[in-house]
């Protein structure tokens, strides 16, 4: 249902929001942190106040979510979004209320201000006390709020600890200071000043006004091959082309990678993947000796702590995209489920990972090229390891380690007794080609493929077993292209069935988009109205019980997820990536619901 701008109802719901306004982050821009760490005179905090950073994170999450809800109520064109269902009006009213926030927050205040239970606190009571949490719960999107609370606390703590260790450098030490700063806050290397805020305003919010949210969940970069380019104290890796024109804080040239339009939120991974950074100085004598072959093969230089994905630092974009993914993949009876083109996402992520595998494996096992040294870090963002070293050989096993998690489990025995545990997820040229079948696979093959299949199953389920066939537009992403013909046919089939079905009385006519045509050319909304649809006031019941459009024999399919949001579980290390068990291998995963586990203040998305 759409609510016209300027009407009393719109003013009541969105009185605190500017429908044409943009998201303005309270947090300092990424480059501000880098500059402050590299030069004490530029420190924006004097002493870093982590309590203020926590407040800024909470305010950004709430205001950003309000921006998203406002944009979804304003279509970007005649075939764009059609708002939320009429039954969500009260939830939207709760979300749009502007709470009074403490300007300096403790960790417990972060959780309480967002309605997240801490310790033995009753989760229902914690939600009840916060109108924002009540609204997000009603929209089925409280999961990412809890995860964001943990991430807000972790990010503030990380920044505080970094600045505590910072030393004042003299003028002739600025280069060393910048290299040290990049170890914690590597350059984002995109051709914009405030990448995080711009990603929200120029990509996320405009796409929410359309019927196609696919790019939100597509890779941030595309191209023919992965590139490795030098920067101060290390290398940067991304798919596609890099261009000249930017400068680092020292005024020296810095290449930037060209985003292709996707935001990079990886379905099922709860993170954005962007430019991969390796903090290993290519000009150091250690690297030069390694390239000359003066080190043994097992003495590999890159260790897991050196590798960071700059997507972790797009903190607001990640948290708000996580909310959008919740509305797509996990909220009940959500029309937004049909705003993603699943086959297109399969293609995008499979190609993204496949090209990474090509870069990792198609090189000489004895390669000592500088590019190949840094390319080995790619496995930390897209790799999956599926072998066990036993009795002198690598054996393929069922259990797999993936991405950053590859460095946290199994120990040397999993890899090789002579392999350094500090190497973690970094795969050498020799290791990348081991095994038959090959030991190294990708996160797409391990998880993403199944996650997207679950979203497709969920789309089919809701068309058959709810009234959503009346509330979506045929022009939306899920129904576009030859790969989605079967889903488009199913939509038309269920709409024709609904016309004569007794549950048409529960259709909320205000939620039916205008101009939708039936296969016989008639107008869907007019035909439903002519046949007596919408007689039950409110239309709040959904056809999900036996005796409806098609009585379901299985529960609605769940959609899997791994780990929390970046900075949500540790301080300076890589984001946690540890599901409680290998849900993607569990036969019960299809049809299972998602649960929320709140303990010790951390909320994780895990399988029930």
Model confidence pLDDT, tens digit, residues 525-564:
999 999 998 877 544 444 434 337 888 889 999 998 877 8
pLDDT, the chain, mean: 80
Q: How far apart are CA 468 and CA 491, in angstroms?
A: 9
Q: Which residues pair with 266 in a beta bridge?
A: 271
Q: Which residue is associated with the tokens 């895990």?
A: 606
Q: How far apart are CA 394 and CA 380, in angstroms?
A: 20
Q: Which residue is associated with the tokens 């488009």?
A: 488
What is the pLDDT, as a whole number, of residue 453? 97
**Dihedrals φ, ψ of 554, to 5°?**
-130, 150
**Dihedrals φ, ψ of 523, to 5°?**
-80, 125
pLDDT tens, 78-115? 777 778 888 888 888 888 887 788 889 999 999 999 99
* Average pLDDT score over residue span 155-171: 67
**With 70 as the cut, is the pLDDT of residue 167 above it?**
no
How open is the CA angle 390-391-397, to the nearest 5 degrees? 25
Please say whether the beta carbons of 400 and 386 come within 8 A.
yes
What is the pLDDT, as a whole number, of residue 585? 35
- Count of CB atoms situated within 10 Å of the CB of 285: 8
Cis ω before 198 (30° cut-off from 0): no
pLDDT tens, 315-324? 999 999 999 9
399, two tokens: 């259990």
pLDDT tens, 481-527? 999 999 999 999 999 999 999 999 999 999 999 999 999 999 999 99
Q: How far apart are CA 544 and CA 467, in angstroms?
A: 8
The top-scoring range by mean pLDDT among 154-158, 184-188, 336-340 is: 336-340
277, two tokens: 């950074």
What is the pLDDT, as a whole number, of residue 296? 66
**Dihedrals φ, ψ of 403, to 5°?**
50, -135
Going through 523-585 in order, the beta strands assigned E by DSSP cover none
**Confidence class for position 413, pLDDT limits 50, 70, 90:** low
**Confidence class for position 10, pLDDT limits 50, 70, 90:** confident
What is the pLDDT, as a whole number, of residue 591? 27
Q: What is the DSSP letter of 557?
A: P
Going through 430-556 in order, the beta strands assigned E by DSSP cover 440-442
Q: How far apart are CA 273 and CA 342, in angstroms?
A: 19
Q: Which of 147-161, 459-473, 512-526 has the lowest mean pLDDT?
A: 147-161
What is the pLDDT, as a whole number, of residue 527? 96
Q: How far apart are CA 269 and CA 528, in angstroms?
A: 41
Q: How far apart are CA 307 and CA 382, in angstroms?
A: 13
**With 90 as the cut, is the pLDDT of residue 462 above it?**
yes
What is the pLDDT, as a whole number, of residue 595? 26
* Average pLDDT score over residue span 243-270: 84
CB-hemisphere CA count at 13 Å for 412? 8
* Average pLDDT score over residue span 6-24: 71
**Confidence class for position 574, pLDDT limits 50, 70, 90:** very low
Q: How far apart are CA 339 and CA 342, in angstroms?
A: 9
Q: Which of 279-283, 346-350, 402-406 has the lowest mean pLDDT?
A: 402-406
Cis ω before 437 (30° cut-off from 0): yes
Please say whether the beta carbons of 495 and 507 come within 8 A.
no
**Confidence class for position 254, pLDDT limits 50, 70, 90:** confident
Share of the chain above pLDDT 70, in %: 80
185 to 37, 42, 554: CA distances (angstroms): 9, 15, 47
Q: How far apart are CA 94 and CA 83, in angstroms?
A: 16
**Confidence class for position 41, pLDDT limits 50, 70, 90:** very low
Q: What is the DSSP letter of 577?
A: -
What is the pLDDT, as a whole number, of residue 255? 85
Please say whether the beta carbons of 349 and 444 come within 8 A.
yes
Q: Which residues pair with 271 in a beta bridge?
A: 266
177, two tokens: 């200071």
> Closest Cα partner for 403 from 466, 319, 333, 311?
311
**Dihedrals φ, ψ of 261, to 5°?**
115, -25
The larger pLDDT score, comparing residue 147 to residue 36, is at 147
29, two tokens: 């821009």
Q: How far apart are CA 336 and CA 384, in angstroms?
A: 31
Q: How far apart are CA 533 and CA 526, in angstroms?
A: 10
Q: How far apart are CA 180 and CA 161, in angstroms?
A: 14
> Closest Cα partner for 16 from 128, 93, 127, 123?
93
> Closest Cα partner for 245 from 316, 192, 181?
192
How open is the CA angle 562-360-379, to the nearest 5 degrees? 25
Residue count of the chain: 608
Burial class (CB in 10 A: 0-12, 13-18, 19+), 100: exposed
**With 50 as the cut, is the pLDDT of residue 450 above it?**
yes
**With 90 as the cut, is the pLDDT of residue 476 above it?**
yes
392, two tokens: 């002198």
Exposed e or buried b per residue across 310-340, where buried means at least 16 C-beta atoms within 10 angstroms of its C-beta: bbbbbbbbbbbbbbbbbbbbbbebbbbbbbb
Q: H or E segment at 123?
A: helix 123-128
Q: Which of 66-80, 330-344, 372-386 has the lowest mean pLDDT?
A: 66-80
402, two tokens: 């993936």
> Closest Cα partner for 269 from 333, 321, 304?
321
The top-scoring range by mean pLDDT among 114-123, 358-367, 373-382 is: 373-382
Number of separate helices (H) and strands (E) present in the chain:
22, 13
Q: What is the DSSP letter of 555?
A: P
* Average pLDDT score over residue span 268-276: 92
């Amino acid at each position: 249902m759409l609510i016209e701008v300027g009407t009393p109802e719109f003013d009541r719901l969105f009185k605190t929001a500017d429908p044409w306004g943009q998201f303005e982050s309270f947090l300092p821009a990424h480059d501000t942190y880098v500059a402050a760490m590299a030069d004490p005179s530029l420190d924006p905090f004097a002493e870093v106040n982590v309590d203020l950073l926590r407040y800024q994170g909470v305010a950004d999450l709430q205001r950003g979510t309000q921006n998203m809800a406002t944009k979804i109520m304003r279509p970007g064109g005649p075939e764009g979004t059609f708002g939320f269902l009429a039954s969500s009006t009260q939830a939207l009213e709760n979300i749009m209320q502007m709470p009074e926030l403490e300007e300096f927050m403790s960790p417990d205040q972060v959780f309480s201000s967002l309605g997240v239970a801490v310790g033995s606190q009753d989760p229902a009571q914690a939600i009840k006390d916060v109108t924002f949490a009540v609204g997000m719960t009603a929209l089925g999107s409280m999961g990412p709020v809890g995860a964001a609370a943990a991430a807000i606390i972790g990010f503030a703590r990380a920044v505080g600890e970094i600045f505590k260790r910072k030393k004042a450098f003299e003028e002739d030490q600025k280069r060393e200071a910048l290299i040290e700063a990049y170890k914690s806050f590597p350059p984002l290397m995109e051709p914009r000043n405030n990448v995080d805020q711009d990603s929200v305003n120029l990509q996320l919010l405009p796409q929410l006004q359309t019927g196609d949210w696919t790019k939100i969940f597509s890779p941030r970069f595309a191209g023919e091959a992965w590139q490795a380019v030098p920067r101060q104290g290390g290398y940067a890796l991304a798919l596609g082309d890099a261009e000249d024109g930017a400068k680092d804080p020292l005024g020296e040239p810095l290449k930037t990678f060209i985003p292709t339009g996707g935001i990079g939120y990886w379905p099922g991974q709860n993170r954005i993947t962007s430019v991969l950074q390796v903090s290993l100085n290519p000009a150091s004598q250690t690297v030069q000796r390694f390239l000359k072959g003066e080190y043994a093969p097992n003495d590999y230089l890159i260790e897991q702590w050196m590798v960071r994905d700059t997507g972790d630092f797009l903190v607001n974009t990640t948290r708000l995209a996580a909310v959008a993914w919740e509305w797509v993949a996990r909220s009940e009876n959500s029309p937004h489920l049909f705003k993603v083109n699943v086959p297109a996402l399969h293609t995008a992520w499979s190609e993204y990972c496949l090209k990474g595998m090509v870069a990792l494996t198609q090189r000489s096992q004895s390669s000592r090229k500088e590019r190949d040294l840094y390319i080995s870090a790619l496995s930390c963002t897209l790799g999956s390891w599926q072998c066990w070293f036993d009795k002198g050989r690598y054996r393929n096993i069922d259990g797999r380690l993936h991405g950053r998690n590859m460095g946290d489990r199994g120990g040397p025995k999993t890899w090789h007794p002579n392999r350094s545990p500090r190497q973690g997820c970094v795969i050498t040229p020799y290791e990348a080609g081991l095994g038959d079948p090959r030991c190294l696979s990708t996160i797409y093959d391990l998880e993403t493929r199944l996650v997207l299949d679950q979203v497709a199953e969920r789309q089919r389920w809701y068309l058959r077993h709810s009234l959503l066939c009346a509330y979506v537009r045929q022009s939306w992403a899920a129904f576009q292209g030859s790969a989605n013909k079967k889903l488009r046919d199913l939509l038309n089939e269920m709409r024709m069935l609904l016309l004569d079905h007794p549950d048409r009385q529960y259709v909320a006519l205000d939620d039916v988009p205008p101009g939708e045509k039936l296969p016989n050319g008639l107008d869907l909304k007019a035909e439903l109205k002519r046949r007596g649809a919408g007689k039950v006031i409110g239309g709040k019941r959904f056809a999900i019980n036996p005796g409806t459009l098609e009585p379901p024999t299985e529960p609605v399919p769940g959609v899997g997820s791994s780990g929390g949001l970046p900075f949500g579980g540790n301080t300076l290390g890589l984001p946690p990536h540890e599901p409680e068990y290998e849900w993607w291998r569990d036969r019960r995963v299809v049809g299972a619901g998602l649960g929320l586990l709140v303990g010790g203040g951390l909320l994780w998305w895990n399988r029930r």
